[in-house]
Amino acid sequence: MGNEQSGGVNSKSNHTNQANGKQTTHQGQLDKDKNKGNGKNRFFVGGRKKEGKSKTNGQSSGLGMEGANYHKYPVTNDYRISRKVLGVGINGKVVECEHRRSGEKYALKVLRDVPKARREVDLHSAASGHSHVVKVVDVYENTYNDVQCLLVVMESMKGGELFTRIQQRGQQAFTEREGASIMYDICSAVQHLHRQNIAHRDIKPENLLYTDENENASLKLTDFGFAKKTDESDPNGLATACFTPYYCAPEVLGAEKYDKSCDLWSIGVVMYILLCGYPPFYSAHGQPMSPGMKAKIRTGQYTFPSPEWDCVSEAAKDLIRKLLKTDPSQRYTIQQTMEHKWITHYKKVPDTPLFTTGILNEQKEHWGEMQEEMEKNLASMRVVNENVQIKNLAESNNRLLQKRKQQQLKPADVITEASMEVERSDEMDT
């Protein structure tokens, strides 16, 4: 994949000092000039070298970011906020903004400043140095109408969602080799996260976006709203909790691996859809879920139906089987996935034309249901684990866990209301 956009404010003026492993940006310099930051002036995104066609695995900015650098001065000092909505999620709108000096366009996500949002911003920033993770450029903590907000400036992803792009290909068939190349990119992003002990826990088609509409656009992972630092888990402190055969209890696997295994399940589902155009746990060709189908999900029954899967390589099917294991302790880790020949040798995967584009188009009207179903499954995986922790924190006499209990987020922290709109005329500059 190639032609990655610069993640910094201005690709020309960004520079990376690779000798000392630090990155500074034009924006960083700007803030130092103004002396308005919080004094640390650490920036999580620097100008990255443009990538050629060959892939680079797991590049990190090397910054070892623990959290974001929150600017306290108004975002509008640096950016013009536009009314153009780039997307709408559960947390509100993502709008376009423009850097005042460089004129470059970025995406702005506005979150209410609650601990969950801080976690999202910190973990996204920490992961942001990878070429297949959407870059966080700047973060501001500003107050609007007495509501404290976090404003996250990200690189603008102008190429839309993964499957929309495949749907829109026209006559040219999507091939298994292209599928392998896409999966390599996704897996390298997840490997980067897991190496930092970050589980994303919300890998789904809507969170995989392309930088632009060019053929060489990069696919990147975004939305760290459910991401979790896995090394904060204390599996030894967790006692047995109720669990269905669908999920093994975290104490069996270790909470850390449990959270990460959720990402591997998602990778398996995305890979399956990529290779045929419909999801694994569905009745023929994406028909809505019946109760019987739901039972199949719980017991991990899926098939590789004909004719879509007839020409797909055995190696691809083998990897899917290893990713879609219902028991997370049996499921492949990201390391094992990266070492599987279908991923490692993605360039040698057969160039077989697939049914994917045609089926995605035929099944357009079922796409919403499919997304909902995937979201429900992800949610139940997260809930199983959260429940286990909540139960044991409440019952535990362990002092460490008691301390964590006090810090535990309340469900009310989940942001459900619409985002703060930065639309007051004094903050707007359209």
Residues of each annotated binding site for ATP: 109
Interface with ligand ATP (CB under 6 A), residue from 21, 90, 239, 329: 90
Work out which of 225, 277, 279, 280 binds ligand ATP, going by CB under 6 A.
225
Nearer to ligand ATP, 89 or 237 (CB): 89
Q: Are strands 22-24 and 15-17 parallel, antiparallel or unpaired?
A: antiparallel
Residue 8 within binding range of ligand ATP, rule CB under 6 A: no
Q: How far is the CB of 371 from ligand ATP (least distance, A)?
A: 10
Tokens in use for 94? 């993502």
Q: Cβ(246)–Cβ(297) under 8 Å?
A: yes
Residue (157 or 262) nearer to ligand ATP, CB: 157
> Contact at 8 Å (CB) between 265 and 324?
yes
- Report if residue 91 touches ligand ATP, rule: CB under 6 A: yes
**CA gap 328, 48 in Å, rounded:** 36
Using only the alpha carbons of the chain, give its radius of gyration: 22
Token pair, residue 6, equals 């610069």
**Contact with ligand ATP (CB under 6 A): which of 2, 58, 89, 350?**
89
Among 94, 151, 198, 217, binds ligand ATP (CB under 6 A): 94
Least separation in angstroms between CB 420 and ligand ATP: 13
Residues 104-163 contacting ligand ATP, CB under 6 A: 107, 109, 134, 154-157
Contacts of 1 (CB under 8 A, 6+ apart): 51, 53, 55, 181, 185, 216, 217, 218, 219
Give CA–CA dist 389/73, Å, rounded. Answer: 37
| Nearest residue to 221 (alpha-carbon basis) of 180, 261, 188 | 188
426 catalytic residue (yes or no): no
Nearer to ligand ATP, 83 or 348 (CB): 83
Residue 373 is a binding residue for ligand ATP (CB under 6 A): no
Residue tagged active-site, from 31, 78, 202, 263: 202
Looking at 113, 206, 212, 427, which residue binds ligand ATP (CB under 6 A)?
Answer: 206
Helix (H), strand (E) at residue 209: strand 208-210
Burial of 26 (0-12, 13-18, 19+ CB in 10 A): buried
> 89 - beta bridge partners?
92
Candidate ranges 221-229, 268-276, 366-374, 379-387; the one touching ligand ATP (CB under 6 A): 221-229
If the CB atoms of residues 360 and 374 are measured against ligand ATP, the closer one turns out to be 374
Provide the binding-site residues for ligand ATP, judged by CB under 6 A: 86-91, 94, 107, 109, 134, 154-157, 206-207, 222-223, 225
Just list the catalytic residues.
202
